[in-house]
């Protein structure tokens, strides 16, 4: 947070992204980091306390950012509204929690919020459905107790540092010059001086917020030796109200601009503020608060970015630019700078933008701004638009018209010819028809756009003009209802954009038995044991480990070709760069460079050829990351192309390129069954991949110990024993010389297994060669490029069913894109087959799974491990059967659901009683049928907006396939003061495993949790531990911890029996004096599991989890945008060890599922280069994407005899339930298509983005894209059909 004193001595606080903020720009400011807000050494701040105690932290890596956003808001507004709170968090991302618990913490500060959890009876007053709470007393809805929170006291906050205040008041302003190694930063204080600097250095950029130049320099290799920072010049910070408008300085931040415009709107007549309102609408969603707080108005304009939200509306609004140079000042229309595209030279290199004048709107003038983005907030627009029309007085005859678009060309573009042609036309359907065709002819988009959205952009261009047309019609009606009828009532809802509201939520779980000891923490919603440290920034991740003397930083050099022979690698220029120590290649690997876990190897460094873009060829070691990165860019690799280049599943099928073995499961007589069914449907669905997007990127610190070839390896991984094995093999030393340490991991989701091993080997080889500590922290872009993710998938199916909805036979083929090496792909393919039935009994079934070998980075394990893909295919054909039979989807699901003790398609027994209970309870809690009726009524009354609802069941089998993969060990020490040190083989990834293990030890030893400490997971304490994967961490390690504790308690029992009134410390002291060992290992052999693929039968799973989710959505048929309105989840997770952690896991997985099925889109170039590298292009769900009402209920009275304390491993299961949103969207689209008389069958692929939704809602605008001549002269608005 930045803290500065304004001219009027009012302090201002604003949050900012440290990664974008040049340190030179902070002169005169007080900077507060999360450590300065509060710490466990001094006192924790209420924000930190409430985030932790409301369970708003899982892996904890994003928590400091959340704290700073909330803290900054509270410094400026001690009693914020819920709208201010959600706006403050719009720029923050979390991959673990699903945001609900973070928002719960926020609500406790909001003056207008009634936090339902704080009510005495635990009932949410905002929820009208009382039946939700006809609960037994055994159930609870409060995960935290607000009574425990310390109050927020603004008088206790830090004041602005007096020395900075004195400096600001007393020191004369002077030019600041900072010299860096390669860059000079100049900060002038007068406009004259700035003009001189620009004349002397015309190519030097002007930097205020660094939100444009910063990313260019950081990510795109742009270099500027001189940077000019004009933020301290008064002329550029002017805010002036005039009789005809507002003048705002070019250096004013967008946040300041927003405040100024908002004040003007509240004080001026509505007629004068239409441009201000339109600009404000764009500012609401432009970036997040952190970006708006530093980004400047001038920078936004001068950069002329195609994706600007502001430039189209400022240009359409006739804004003027005040330019200055040594030659004098001049005013030009802002629209002039876009006249000839990006090559426009209206502004001379030596000229400076001083200020912008935004005029008042006039009588008879209507102005609107529009945008459609991959995510509603904090995302660059796909298309933005600014439109203005001025009518001749008292008429609807066009006197002046401006239409500007962003995102359609290399910069903002004007439909100039269209506007000129339409002057004199009346505002009616004939004008609309003509305008739409003129705009499409004038705004020509390149079909070869890298994002492949040309057709969608064209559709948006005319759809947004149509929305403007409707808005103006409605405004004309307001002005003169006698002459202008406005628009039909069923069109009115389209005029309202979707808004982000503070979600309401309910969590229901089972209370512990009254007979349970108050000291026994099992079954209680205990806070994450690192929660407070997450919130104070004291939790240590790999890159927080203090640097070691002589430490080197590593930057990897990756292949730019998908399939090529390496002709040469020239490192000579890289080695000349300052600070470079060495370049590490395959020749420096002492032993194993290729690991043959199957026929195709996993490779540390490419040696003779590369097999994907992003494969590591070498690495540069230098004294800083910046030096290493600069040198890495100087490594020259010469390639010779190899054929074929296989990128897609279709390519792999064509070239018969697969990893072996291919798998098949067959049950019943498929072919014969097809002869007896009433109907057969065939189809195929494509499911895109998914990036893990863990908050902590792949991170390694390798430290040679200096003797016996020992090495400490600190690594962010799910599997330390595997890291130890790979590093030892690559260095050619025994495993006992490699000590692997993991304190905590900032998110993983399956992505920190084999890839982490390869990267740890890269760092360890470098450390071995240089005999220095080596730190390798991947940038987000490199991480996404190198590591792969969830497998892209194609499912082909043929389904035979009866007219009453009974499915009799299925023949399916699944293809997954494995990438260039095997990794876990064959195993993922197997799981696709084993779990494909989801919740349904299929009498006759044949399914094949193929892992395709392609030239993409190898795809790997990801939460759900194949089931989210094959389950979606199953639910798709279930929905299509419903459409074919005329039955509702929920009816077809009920008809085909497992109903009694049955066998799966691989002959494993299951009891589906809890599946049916989850389904029925979710039906009831969600009030499904009454809401479905209400949705049908809403859809009848709204033409351009539609709602949809879907309810989806889930059977999620738990198991790792082989007994040895689920073995676990623990080590428990009791010290003579009675304190206990616990360790086990599980890794803390955010799933709260250490918290749960401490709960287990607390129960077994019958001591308070405060006596027990967990230090780290290490190969030195627990050897040969299995990976923390497959939701199994608590199951298996809990058994091991229990075993160790019971061993210790058995030893202590004679002493306790002798002195039953003694306390724990007495017994431990006595045990030591009696020479009783106070250290014990615990062990769990693992679960029995087997699968015979030859016979197609086995018992690969230990037990089953069940769940049901019901989701409701609303779509905008003109843009494809959608809003998640409500989700109800009922999950059977046995007896929860920690309901707060478990509900958090369900919600987090569900929101990750929303990302997979509706948002997250990976794009590759035709050459196999990943284009979506980073949060700019790849959008994970944010606060604006979670359901407005989000309810989770744990099924009561569920027992699981196979796992510790009857719990169930649930980390992965909830992700699949995100597809309930996918099918709710499908339901809404079906309603649109039925209303418009479109053919019933249609295919929807995943992710179901706005682009796909818009394309499926076929109307006259989408028909224009196909040049369908039959649709000429269409009554666009269908005014007379209603």
Q: Which residues are the active-site residues?
A: 1212
Q: How far apart are CA 196 and CA 272, in angstroms?
A: 38
Q: How far apart are CA 124 and CA 126, in angstroms?
A: 5
How many CA within 13 A on the CB side of residue 1270?
3
Buried/exposed 100-133: b ≥16 CB within 10 Å, e otherwise: bbbbbbbbbbbeebebbbbeeebbbeeeeeeebb
- Spatial strand order in the sheet of 636-641: 609-610, 564-570, 636-641
- The radius of gyration computed from the CA coordinates of the chain, to the nearest angstrom, equals 31
How many CA within 13 A on the CB side of residue 499?
12
Q: How far apart are CA 562 and CA 1169, in angstroms?
A: 8
Q: How far apart are CA 114 and CA 641, in angstroms?
A: 64
Structure-token pair, residue 5: 């004193």
Q: How far apart are CA 1065 and CA 712, in angstroms?
A: 35
Q: How far apart are CA 1121 and CA 1134, in angstroms?
A: 38
Structure-token pair, residue 934: 């209400």
Structure-token pair, residue 35: 């450590």
Structure-token pair, residue 1060: 């039953």
Task: Tell me phi and psi for residue 883, to 5 degrees.
Answer: -65, -40
What 8-state DSSP symbol labels residue 481? T
Total Cβ atoms within 10 A of residue 549: 6
Closest CA relative to residue 1195, chosen from 991, 913, 838, 840:
913
SS3 740: strand
Closest CA relative to residue 691, chosen from 753, 751, 759, 776:
751
Total Cβ atoms within 10 A of residue 643: 8
Provide DSSP, 454-518: HHHHHHHHHHHHHHHHHHHHHHHHHH-TTT-----GGGGGGGSPP-----EEEEEEEPPPTTS-T
Contacts of 329 (CB under 8 A, 6+ apart): 322, 323, 354
- Report the helix count and the strand count for the chain, using DSSP H and E: 36, 47
For strands 1189-1194 and 504-510, give the pairing: parallel
| Spatial contact of 211 and 234, defined as CB atoms under 8 Å apart | no
Structure-token pair, residue 626: 């910046």
| Spatial contact of 412 and 315, defined as CB atoms under 8 Å apart | yes
Total Cβ atoms within 10 A of residue 231: 20
How many CA within 13 A on the CB side of residue 526?
28
Structure-token pair, residue 1256: 């499926």
For strands 184-187 and 226-228, give the pairing: parallel
| Spatial contact of 735 and 725, defined as CB atoms under 8 Å apart | yes
Q: How far apart are CA 758 and CA 751, in angstroms?
A: 12
Q: What region, left, alpha or beta, does residue 1162 occupy, with left being phi > 0 and alpha being psi -120 to 50 degrees?
A: beta
Provide DSSP, 343-410: G--SS-TT-EEEEEEEEPP-TTEEEEEEEE-SSSSSS--SEEEEEEEEEPTTS-BEEEEEEEEESSSS
What 8-state DSSP symbol labels residue 501? -
Tell me whether residue 1166 is exposed, middle or buried, using C-beta atoms within 10 angstroms of its C-beta: 0 to 12, 13 to 18, 19 or more: exposed
């Amino acid at each position: 947070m930045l803290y500065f004193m304004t001219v009027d001595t009012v302090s201002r606080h604003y949050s900012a992204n440290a990664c974008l903020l040049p340190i030179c720009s902070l002169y005169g400011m007080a900077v507060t980091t999360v450590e300065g807000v509060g710490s466990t050494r001094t006192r924790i701040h209420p924000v930190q306390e409430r985030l932790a105690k409301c369970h708003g932290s899982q892996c904890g890596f994003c928590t400091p950012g959340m704290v700073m956003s909330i803290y900054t808001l509270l410094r400026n507004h001690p009693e914020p509204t819920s709208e201010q709170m959600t706006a403050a968090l719009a720029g923050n991302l979390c991959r673990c929690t699903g945001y609900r618990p973070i928002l719960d913490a926020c609500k406790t500060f909001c003056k207008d919020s009634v936090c339902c959890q704080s009510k005495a009876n635990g009932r949410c007053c905002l929820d009208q459905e009382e039946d939700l709470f006809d609960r037994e007393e055994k159930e609870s809805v409060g995960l935290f107790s607000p009574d425990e929170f310390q109050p927020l006291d603004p008088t206790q906050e830090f004041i602005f540092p007096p020395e900075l205040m004195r400096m600001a008041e007393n020191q004369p302003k002077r030019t600041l010059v900072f010299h860096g190694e390669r860059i000079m930063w100049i900060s002038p204080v007068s406009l004259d001086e700035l003009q001189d600097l620009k004349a002397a250095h015309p190519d030097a950029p002007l930097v205020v917020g660094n939100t444009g130049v910063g990313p260019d320099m950081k990510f795109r290799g742009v270099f500027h030796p001189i940077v000019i920072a004009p933020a301290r010049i008064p002329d550029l910070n002017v805010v002036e109200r005039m009789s005809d408008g507002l003048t705002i300085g070019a250096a004013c931040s967008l946040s300041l601009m927003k405040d100024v415009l908002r004040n003007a709107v509240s004080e001026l007549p509505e007629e004068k503020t239409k441009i201000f309102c339109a600009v404000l609408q764009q500012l609401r969603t432009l970036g997040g608060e952190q970006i708006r707080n530093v980004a400047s108005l001038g920078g936004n304009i001068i950069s002329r970015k195609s994706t600007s939200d502001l430039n189209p509306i400022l240009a359409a609004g006739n804004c003027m630019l005040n330019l200055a140079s040594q030659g004098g000042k001049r005013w030009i229309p802002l629209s002039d700078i876009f006249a000839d595209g990006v090559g426009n030279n209206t502004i001379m290199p030596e000229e400076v933008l001083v200020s912008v004048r935004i005029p008042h709107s006039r009588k008879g003038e209507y102005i609107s701004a529009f945008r459609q983005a991959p995510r509603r907030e904090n995302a660059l627009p796909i298309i933005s638009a600014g439109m203005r029309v001025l009518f001749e007085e008292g008429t609807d005859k066009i006197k002046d018209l401006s239409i500007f678009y962003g995102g359609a060309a290399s910069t903002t573009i004007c439909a100039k010819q269209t506007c000129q042609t339409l002057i004199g036309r009346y505002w009616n359907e004939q004008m609309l028809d003509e305008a739409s065709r003129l705009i499409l002819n004038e705004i020509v988009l390149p079909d070869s756009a890298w994002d492949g959205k040309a057709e969608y952009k064209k559709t948006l261009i005319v759809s947004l003009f149509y929305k403007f047309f409707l808005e103006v019609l409605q405004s004309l009606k307001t002005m003169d209802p006698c002459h202008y009828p406005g628009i039909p009532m069923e069109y009115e809802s389209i005029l309202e954009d979707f808004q982000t509201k503070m979600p309401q939520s309910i969590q229901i779980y089972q209370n512990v038995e009254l007979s349970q000891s108050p000291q026994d923490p099992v079954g209680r919603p205990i806070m994450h044991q690192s929660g407070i440290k997450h919130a104070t920034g004291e939790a240590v991740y790999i890159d927080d480990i203090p640097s070691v003397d002589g430490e080197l930083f590593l930057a990897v050099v990756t292949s730019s070709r998908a399939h090529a022979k390496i002709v040469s690698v020239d490192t000579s220029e890289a080695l000349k760069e300052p600070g470079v120590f060495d370049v590490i290649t395959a020749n420096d690997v002492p032993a194993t460079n290729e690991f043959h876990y199957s026929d195709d190897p996993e490779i540390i460094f490419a040696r003779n050829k590369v097999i994907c873009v992003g494969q590591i060829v070498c690495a540069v070691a230098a004294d800083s990351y910046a030096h290493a990165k600069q040198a890495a860019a100087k490594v020259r690799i010469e390639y010779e192309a190899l054929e074929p280049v296989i990128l897609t599943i279709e390519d792999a099928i064509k070239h018969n390129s697969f990893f072996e073995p291919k798998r098949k499961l067959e049950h019943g007589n498929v072919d014969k069954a097809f002869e007896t069914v009433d109907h057969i449907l065939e189809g195929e669905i494509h499911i895109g991949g998914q990036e893990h997007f863990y908050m902590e990127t792949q991170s390694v610190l390798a430290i040679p110990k200096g003797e016996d070839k020992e090495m400490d390896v600190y690594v962010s991984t799910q599997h330390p024993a595997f890291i130890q094995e790979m590093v030892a093999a690559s260095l050619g030393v025994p495993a006992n010389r490699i000590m692997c340490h993991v304190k905590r991991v900032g998110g993983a989701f399956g992505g920190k297994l084999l890839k982490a091993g390869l990267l740890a080997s890269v760092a360890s080889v470098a450390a071995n060669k240089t005999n220095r500590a080596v730190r390798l922290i991947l940038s987000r872009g490199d991480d996404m490029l190198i590591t792969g993710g969830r497998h892209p998938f194609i499912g082909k199916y043929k389904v035979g069913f009866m007219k009453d909805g009974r499915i009799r036979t299925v023949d399916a083929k699944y293809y997954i894109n494995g990438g260039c090496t095997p990794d876990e792909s064959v195993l993922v393919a197997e799981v696709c087959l084993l779990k494909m039935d989801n919740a349904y009994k299929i009498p006759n079934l044949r399914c094949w799974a193929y892992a395709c070998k392609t030239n993409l980075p190898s795809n790997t394990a990801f939460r759900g491990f194949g089931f989210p893909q094959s389950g979606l295919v199953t639910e798709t054909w279930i929905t299509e059967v419903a459409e074919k039979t005329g039955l509702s989807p929920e009816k077809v699901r009920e008809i085909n659901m497992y109903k009694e003790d049955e066998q799966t398609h691989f002959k494993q027994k299951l009891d589906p009683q809890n599946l049916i209970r989850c389904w029925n309870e979710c039906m009831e809690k969600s009030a499904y049928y009454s809401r479905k009726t209400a949705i049908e009524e809403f859809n009848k009354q709204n033409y351009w907006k539609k709602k949809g609802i879907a309810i989806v069941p889930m059977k999620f089998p738990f198991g790792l396939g082989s007994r040895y993969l689920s073995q676990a060990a623990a080590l428990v020490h009791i010290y003579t003061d009675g304190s206990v040190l616990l360790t086990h083989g599980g890794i803390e990834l955010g799933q709260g495993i250490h918290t749960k293990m401490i709960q287990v030890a607390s129960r077994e030893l019958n001591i308070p949790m405060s006596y027990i400490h967990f230090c780290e997971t290490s190969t030195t304490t627990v050897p040969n531990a299995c990976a923390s994967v497959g939701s199994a961490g608590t199951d298996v390690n809990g058994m091991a911890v229990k075993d160790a504790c019971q061993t210790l308690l058995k030893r202590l029992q004679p002493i306790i029996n002798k002195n039953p009134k003694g306390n724990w410390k007495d017994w431990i002291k006595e045990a030591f004096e009696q020479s009783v060992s106070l250290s014990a290992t615990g062990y769990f052999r693992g679960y029995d599991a087997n699968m015979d693929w030859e016979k197609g039968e086995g018992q690969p799973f230990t037990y089953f989890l069940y769940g049901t989710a019901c989701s409701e959505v609303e779509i905008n048929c003109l843009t494809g945008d959608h809003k998640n309105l409500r989700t109800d989840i009922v999950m059977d997770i046995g007896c929860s060890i920690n309901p707060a952690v478990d509900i958090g896991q369900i919600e987090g997985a569900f929101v990750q599922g929303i990302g997979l099925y509706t948002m997250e889109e990976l794009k590759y170039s035709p050459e196999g280069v990943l284009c979506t590298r980073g949060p700019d292009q790849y959008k994970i769900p944010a606060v604006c994407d979670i359901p407005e009402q989000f309810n989770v209920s744990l099924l009561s009275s569920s027992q699981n005899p196979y796992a510790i304390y009857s719990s169930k491993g649930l980390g992965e299961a909830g992700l699949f339930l995100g597809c309930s949103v996918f099918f709710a969207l499908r339901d809404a689209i079906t309603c649109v298509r039925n209303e418009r008389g479109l053919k019933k069958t249609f295919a929807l692929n995943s992710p179901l983005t706005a682009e796909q939704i818009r394309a499926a809602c076929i109307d006259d605008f989408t028909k224009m894209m196909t040049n369908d001549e039959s649709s000429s002269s269409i009554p666009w608005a269908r005014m007379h059909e209603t």
